[in-house]
Structure 1
Amino acid sequence: MKTFLTFFVTAILLTSISCYAQRIKDVASIQGVRSNQLIGYGLVVGLPGTGEQSPFTEQSFRTMLTNFGISIDSTVKPKIKNVAAVAVHAELPAFTKPGQTIDVTVSSVGEASSLQGGTLLQTFLKGVDGKVYAVAQGSLVVSGFGAEGADGSRVVVNTPTVGRIPNGAMVEQAVPSGFASGDSLTLNLHYPDFSTAKRLADTINQKLGAQPDQGYVIATPVDAASVRVTAPRDIGQRVGFLATLENFQFTPADAPARVVINSRTGTIVIGRDVQLLPAAITHGGLTVTISENQQVSQPNALAEGETVVTTQSIVDVDLADSRMFKFEPGTTLDDLVRAVNEVGAAPGDLMAILEALRQAGALRGELVVI
């Protein structure tokens, strides 16, 4: 029985396409130009009885009233089922200026059953340094909802305890960055690689007319992740310089030989350069023999050409009682996957084979399990 299509829904053979050029802006970022996380604690009011009566909500409610000059006797316990304590978080993009707005996410931190219909009161959003960078306030947009019966049965759709406020926070101060300082900028690769860093530096030097052989360089690789680029000091010229630089195209180096396995979904991603060393393992009732024959191809005596050696791969699959997998030198995982597909094996069989090959030292490549 053949299950080629069924198996490849869960096992994917990845062919590398690193031969295609990419823009610098797609593979690297500028050091210091980054977003910053903000967080705050506040109150959502106006809920239709879906709030909470927790101690910290009551304390926050009393503190809010005190700030407005209203005091409540400590012996009186207010009923505030229309109020919920929430955590508010947002991301402050680089170069965001005071007066601009950003989106915020509001999440219940107590026992509130829903934030539907609520309004967030003024909440200070702080960075990791404890300073206030934005102030959030506004009506929530909640996609989820819930319904509860008298017998305790309940139906919940999506998540009614989390909401968003588009443009709900006003930025009060900008985050300092080192973009405009110094004589150089540093490009950080998303995926560190020494070969890619060198190719990136070489491309920049070539495009901008540098002459490394005469000691004049514009880009210098610092390590596997970073390339330092000399940039104009004038901020206007620097912006124009980077606008040109980030659109340069170059070819990154090939990715390392790697096999990635998702044990929860059965997904298997195999890199192009993964190879197998000579090995033989036992697995179930399957026998897979993969071998390669070397053939010599000679041109006609009257024709021009060269004598070359070609490789012919032979894959033999058997479901007999024999239980030995045999791999000859030069076998690729492409051959292995196709052979296992022929006998209709499950993704778990291939996972077990790959793990056994790694333990035996016959898998030339990194095995990553997520």
Structure 2
Amino acid sequence: MQRFFKIIAIAVLVAQVASPASRLKELVTIEGVRDNQLLGYGLVVGLAGTGDRQQTVFSVQTLTNLLERMGVSVAASAITVKNTAAVLVTAVLPPYAQPGAKMDITVAAMGDARDLRGGLLILTSLRAANGEVYALAQGPVLTGGFTAGRAGATQVINHPTVGRVPSGAIIERGAPSIAIRSTVNLQLKDDDFETAARVAAVINKHFAAETPLTAHAVNSSLISVNVPASFRDRTTEFVGEIEALTIDVDREAKIVVNERTGTIILGKDVHIAPVAILHGNLSVEIQTSIAVSQPSPGTVGETEVVPQTNVAIKEDKVKNVTLKEGATVEELVRSLTAIGSTARDIIAILQSLKAAGALNAELEVI
């Protein structure tokens, strides 16, 4: 058995550093211009005996209703099939999508079907949260996996109960997107007061010839932009011109650690104050061996098992690292690695610093 005791002492101050210039297209979204989730319930047929079994009642009921609409009357109790599977169909309706356009759909088994490979999705209506039908889906299902064998000898590759139908849905109704008129509201993907102010300033500088001021920051997430008179009939060009503008994004210092994998993600250019690290390693090793005590021939005695315990204590030499003023977190990590610190050691250091209030950066543990 081995026991290790580690003593770590450190003081760090992390400063904020602005990120490189980014396009507004990557930083903001247009209020009202958004995707819409669609959902439908359907039936996949043509499976090679890998569909829902008899205990999945709703797939049989769905098949009965389908046959009823096609003029075939049959009782649900009289149907025994293994080539059909009840599925949920999902899709994402993009903004400004027009009737007649096509989009991909995802099909997932909701019963006990084993494999959707080779199946055909029967005409399925896709509805939005408001209950309105926006698309119709139908087509062959493509899966990235398969199932081979039967009974106890079965091999499953990837996930055969979920598949896709490329261009499998036809849009029947236009997406419920807003029309851009006199005002455009930009929403920051990551709210920040300084970034919002910079976005408004960059837009106003670019459209300096327009009066009054084109943009102003409403809060840390929203920038309201007035469409200039010269762009009143060309709002699409106006939005495209805004998205092409670049700004220096202000981000707070952030360190992300994953304790399960020992992964640390941190800013390379985040500076730290002068720092000293004391890293001592005390190792205690305890080993137990078994010896047999045997009496000599012709003497009175009993054979006994005698445990023998050896205790060895080893203390490594204390290692010290000193960083000069202006050093970065990258240099800190390199120095810690040089004295034998592992990723988990560094994670423990960062967590202790945050608890002590010595780390001026957001620490996120995932």
Interval of TM-score (by shorter of Structure 1 and Structure 2): 0.7 to 0.9
Please name the residue that 1:197 is paired with: 196
Superposed, 1:172-251 pairs within 5 Å as 172-181=172-181, 183-209=182-208, 216-231=212-227, 236-251=233-248
CA distance in 2 between counterparts of 1:16 and 1:278 reads 17
User: Secondary structure at the residue paired with 1:86?
Assistant: strand
Please name the residue that 2:125 is paired with: 124
Identity of aligned residues (%): 38
Code of the residue aligned with 1:333 in structure 2: it is V
User: Secondary structure at the residue paired with 1:174?
Assistant: coil
Does the aligned pair in 1 maintain the 2:33–2:95 contact within 8 Å?
A: yes
CA distance in 2 between counterparts of 1:111 and 1:188 reads 43
Give the TM-score normalised by the residue count of structure 2: 0.78
- How many residues of Structure 1 are paired with residues of Structure 2 in the alignment? 317
Does the aligned pair in 2 maintain the 1:260–1:367 contact within 8 Å?
A: yes
Please name the residue that 1:293 is paired with: none
Q: Residues 142-177 of structure 1: CA distance to partner in whole angstroms, max 9, x if unpaired?
A: 221111245x12111111111111110011111222
Give the TM-score normalised by the residue count of structure 1: 0.78
Q: 1:123 to 1:258 in 2, by over 3 A?
A: same
Q: Which shifted more, 262-271 or 165-174?
A: 262-271
Q: Residues 192-236 of structure 1: CA distance to partner in whole angstroms, max 9, x if unpaired?
A: 21111111111111111158xxx8210111111111110158774
Q: Which shifted more, 237-246 or 126-135?
A: 237-246
Code of the residue aligned with 2:108 in structure 1: it is S
Does the aligned pair in 2 maintain the 1:276–1:364 contact within 8 Å?
A: no
Q: Of 266, 270, 273, which residue of structure 2 is paired with 1:270?
A: 266
Does the aligned pair in 2 maintain the 1:277–1:364 contact within 8 Å?
A: no
Please name the residue that 1:340 is paired with: 336
Code of the residue aligned with 1:102 in structure 2: it is M
Q: Residues 242-290 of structure 1: CA distance to partner in whole angstroms, max 9, x if unpaired?
A: 222221222222x10111102232211122336468787776459xxxx
Does the aligned pair in 2 maintain the 1:51–1:113 contact within 8 Å?
A: yes
Could you say which structure has the larger radius of gyration? 2
What 5-or-longer segments of structure 2 have no aligned partner?
A: 1-14, 284-314
CA distance in 1 between counterparts of 2:334 and 2:227 reads 51
Does the aligned pair in 1 maintain the 2:87–2:107 contact within 8 Å?
A: yes
Superposed, 1:75-224 pairs within 5 Å as 76-150=77-151, 152-181=152-181, 183-209=182-208, 216-224=212-220
Q: Of 64, 70, 73, which residue of structure 2 is paired with 1:68?
A: 70
Q: Which shifted more, 232-241 or 359-368?
A: 232-241
CA distance in 2 between counterparts of 1:283 and 1:69 reads 83
Please name the residue that 2:52 is paired with: 52
Taking only aligned residues, the RMSD between alpha carbons, in angstroms, comes to: 2.8
Code of the residue aligned with 1:147 in structure 2: it is A
Code of the residue aligned with 1:203 in structure 2: it is V
Code of the residue aligned with 1:42 in structure 2: it is G
Does the aligned pair in 2 maintain the 1:187–1:226 contact within 8 Å?
A: yes
Bigger RCO of structures 1 and 2 (CA < 8 A, at least 6 apart): 2
Q: 1:160 to 1:285 in 2, by over 3 A?
A: same
CA distance in 1 between counterparts of 2:86 and 2:272 reads 56
Does the aligned pair in 2 maintain the 1:180–1:235 contact within 8 Å?
A: no
Task: State the 1:326 CA deviation.
Answer: 8.3
CA distance in 2 between counterparts of 1:85 and 1:269 reads 43
Code of the residue aligned with 1:32 in structure 2: it is G
User: Secondary structure at the residue paired with 2:142?
Assistant: coil
Q: 1:245 to 1:323 in 2, by over 3 A?
A: closer
Task: State the 1:77 CA deviation.
Answer: 3.2
Does the aligned pair in 2 maintain the 1:277–1:363 contact within 8 Å?
A: no
CA distance in 1 between counterparts of 2:352 and 2:17 reads 28
Does the aligned pair in 1 maintain the 2:41–2:125 contact within 8 Å?
A: yes
